[in-house]
Amino acid sequence: MYSVGIDIGGTSIKSGIVDEDGNILAQSAIPTVPSKGFELMVKEMAEEVDKLLSDQKISIDKVKGIGVGIPGIADNNSGIVRVAVNLGWRNVDLRAEFKKYFNTEIGLSNDANCAALGEQRFGSGRGFSDVVFVTIGTGVGSGIVVNGKLVAGNGSAGGESGHIVIVYDGNPCNCGRRGCWEAYASATALIGPTKKKMEEYPDSIMYEIAKAEGKVSGRTAFRAMDAGDVPAKEVVEQYLDYVASGLISLTNVLHPEAFLIGGGVSHEGDNLILPLKAKIDEYVHTSGMYPEVEVKQATLGNSAGLLGASALV
Amino acid sequence: MYSVGIDIGGTSIKSGIVDEDGNILAQSAIPTVPSKGFELMVKEMAEEVDKLLSDQKISIDKVKGIGVGIPGIADNNSGIVRVAVNLGWRNVDLRAEFKKYFNTEIGLSNDANCAALGEQRFGSGRGFSDVVFVTIGTGVGSGIVVNGKLVAGNGSAGGESGHIVIVYDGNPCNCGRRGCWEAYASATALIGPTKKKMEEYPDSIMYEIAKAEGKVSGRTAFRAMDAGDVPAKEVVEQYLDYVASGLISLTNVLHPEAFLIGGGVSHEGDNLILPLKAKIDEYVHTSGMYPEVEVKQATLGNSAGLLGASALV
C-alpha cells in the first residue's frame, strides 16, 4: 500500500507518493497562489496527485489515504482548517473538499506536527515511539509523538512548546506574552545578546564574521566560537542553557525517548546537540532512576513535512 | 465486569472493587508496614482482594484485572517498580508477584497518574478525554491523560510537571534545580512570601490568622484575604499568577480540554479556580482560534487513587 503526502508551504505545495518504508516514489511541486481561493487550490492539488498516481501506474485503491500538512491550525478530528493566515483560509472544510476528488481517508495537521511525525517514522526518530520534535529557527516550534501517534491537543492547539514560559516576566515574545522559550531559544533571540557582547568586546572575532555575512545573525556567535573567540563562546553557552531549560521542562512533562532537533539552528550539529545532550543527561542522572533522553539532529530536512503528512493516514 | 483498585499509600493500603461506572462496591484498608518486605506485603494485598471478592460473591473471572497505584516510579510496560522509597522497594517485579495469586491483568502506575485517571474517568473530568490533573499541596504533581489514556512518558518518568522551570535561575527547588514551578506554586512556596509580606505590614490580619493556626501556612494569606486584608490579597494574587504561568505553559504543550486541580490548595475552591480560569482564558482568547480550557476542582478526594488504579486495567 502507498500513501500520499501533501506539504502546503508559503511558496510551494509539494505532493508525493510514499511507500510504507518512507521512500518517496514520485513528487511534484506547484506554486502556492492563495489568490486562486480555497476550492481551486484544492482542485489543483487533486490534479497533481492524480498525475503522480497515473505516472506511477498506481490505482487509488492501492492508496491508504492522503495526508495534508498545513501552515496553520488544522484539526484532524473535524477535518477543518481553522485558520491558515498565509493561505487566506479560515474555517474551511479541507477533508470534505478533498473527498470531492478522492474516495479515501484524508488526514490533516499543521506543518510542525507533520514534520514531527515524519522524523519519528522515517528520519532521526526511527526506532522510537515517543519523541518531541523541536524546530529552532526564526521561532521555536514543536510536535509531540506518543506511541507513534501525534498528540496535537484539543482543537490541535497543543505542541506550541515555544511558548512555555522559562523566564517569568522576562523578554517580550512575538505572541504578546513575556518570557517564552522562543524569546530566548530561537535563532532570532541570539541576535540581541550577540550584539550586546560585541559592544563589550570591540576586539571580538564576531565583528569579522558579521561583516562577512553582512549582518549579525543567529550564526555569528557560533562561527566566532568555532574560530576561538571567547566572548562568542559565552554567548553560545548562555543560549544553549536557555535551549536546554526548555528541553528539560518538556522532559519533566513528557519524558520522551528522544528530542529531534530541526530548523536552521540544528545545522550547528554537534556544537548544538552534544551540549544539549550533556545538560539533559545531568538532569536525568541527578533525578536518579529515569531513563536517558536522546538528542538527535533531524535528518529529513524539507522532506519531513511531506513524509509526515503521508504518515497521517 | 468489575475491576480491582489498590492504592498503596505511606500509611495505609486501600483495596476496592469497582464497577464500570466507578462505584466502589466494597473496600478495605490495611496498614502499610514496609518492614514486612515486598513479598509478604503483596501476599497480604492479595488476601485482602480475595476477601473482598468472596464477601461480594464475585468470582475472579468477572474481574477485568487489578490495578495498583504506587508512591514511586512504576513502569506499566515492564511491570517493574523501579523505586518506591517509602516502601523500601527497588526494582521489584510487582506484576509477576501479583500473578502468583491472580490469573488476570495487572496494571501499575504512580499515585499521581492514578489520581489523574480516576478524576478523568469518574470524577471532575468525566466527559473529557484529554485532561491534566495537577495536585497542589506540599509539592506540585501531575498526571496527563490523552484520549482517555495515561501519558506517562518513557519509563513512566513523565508527568513531573511540578519541575518545569518557570523562573530561570530562580528559587531553589527540592529537586536540586532552580526556578521550578513547584518552588513557586506549592502550598509550601506560599509560606515565604506570606512571612515577607507580614514583615512589611505589621497590622495585617495575617498575624491573627497565623496565631490562631499556630503557624504561618499556605492557608494564612487565603484566610486573611477572605477577611479583607489587602496585603494578603497581594500575596495570593502573585501566587495565583505563578500557578497560572505553569498551567499556561502546559496549555501550550498539551492544550487539554480541562485542568483538574487537586491537593490541599484545591480546597480554596473558587478563590483558586476562578482566577486561574480567567488567566487561562486571557491567554486562550489572545491567541485567537484555540478552544477554551476548563479548570475544575478535583472531586474524588482520597478515592481518586483507588478508582484510577482500577481504571488501569
Residue percentage of chain B with pLDDT more than 70: 99
* Cβ contacts from A onto B, under 8 A: 135
Contact residues, chain B, for A247 at CB < 8 Å: none
How far apart (Å, rounded) are the C-alpha atoms in residues B130 and B254?
9
Closest-CA residue of B relative to A178 is B245
Nearest-Cα distance to chain B for A58, in Å, is 35
Do the Cβ atoms of B132 and B100 come closer than 8 Å?
A: no
Beta carbons of B164 and A130 less than 8 Å apart: no
Nearest-Cα distance to chain B for A161, in Å, is 5
Cβ-nearest to B252 among A151, A164, A293: A164
Contact residues, chain B, for A250 at CB < 8 Å: 253
Closest-CA residue of B relative to A134 is B253
The whole-model pTM stands at 0.94
Do the Cβ atoms of A25 and A18 come closer than 8 Å?
A: yes
Q: For every one of its 313 residues, what pLDDT tens digit does chain B have, with 9 covering 90 and above? A: 999 999 999 899 999 999 999 999 999 999 999 999 999 999 999 999 999 999 999 999 999 999 999 998 899 999 999 989 889 999 999 999 999 999 999 999 999 999 999 999 999 999 999 999 999 999 999 999 999 999 999 988 899 999 999 999 999 998 889 999 999 999 999 999 999 999 999 999 999 999 999 999 999 999 999 999 999 999 999 999 999 999 999 999 999 999 999 999 999 999 999 999 999 999 887 666 789 999 999 999 999 999 999 999 9
Contact residues, chain A, for B162 at CB < 8 Å: 252
Closest-CA residue of B relative to A248 is B164
Closest-CA residue of B relative to A152 is B254
ipTM of the complex, rounded to two decimals:
0.93
- DSSP letters, B36-92, are G-HHHHHHHHHHHHHHHHHHTT--GGGEEEEEEEESSEEETTTTEEEEEGGGTEEEE
Beta carbons of A154 and B287 less than 8 Å apart: no
Say which residue the cell 548562555 belongs to: A238
Categorise residue A263: left if φ over 0, alpha if ψ from -120 to 50, beta otherwise.
left
Confidence of residue A287 (pLDDT cuts 50, 70, 90): low
